[in-house]
Amino acid sequence: MAADDELLTLLRAIGDGDDADAPVDSDTLSTSLRWTPDEVAARLKDARAQMLIWGIRTGGTPAPRFAELELTVQGRRLMASAGLLKP
């Protein structure tokens, strides 16, 4: 899977949790996406650098790790442009 596709997959998982009012964190993403913690951390780092997500930074490895992840306005715009936002 290409990095852009992985980023959209990550954003979709965060958005789905947000829509379901279920807290999303690094561990939840690793389990639901069946990605290693290193893969999740790498994509979260990319998403945060592009200001696509917001979350509370937590300790632990691999870093970065987040709790209470949400999509930012920019993240929602990217999802909408990719046709991945629910109506």
Q: What's the rounded Cα separation, in Å, for the pair 80 and 31?
A: 25
| pLDDT one-digit tens code per residue, 63-82 | 999 999 999 999 999 999 99
Tokens of 52: 């696509």
pTM over 0.75: yes
Give 66's strand partners: 57
Find the Cα–Cα–Cα–Cα dihedral 54, 59, 62, 64, rounded to 10°. 20
Domains in the chain: boundaries? 3-78
| CATH of the structural domain 3-78, one choice from 3.40.50.1980, 1.10.390.10, 2.60.120.260, 1.10.10.10 | 1.10.10.10
| pLDDT one-digit tens code per residue, 12-48 | 999 998 778 888 999 999 999 999 999 999 999 999 9
Q: What's the rounded Cα separation, in Å, for the pair 65 and 4?
A: 20
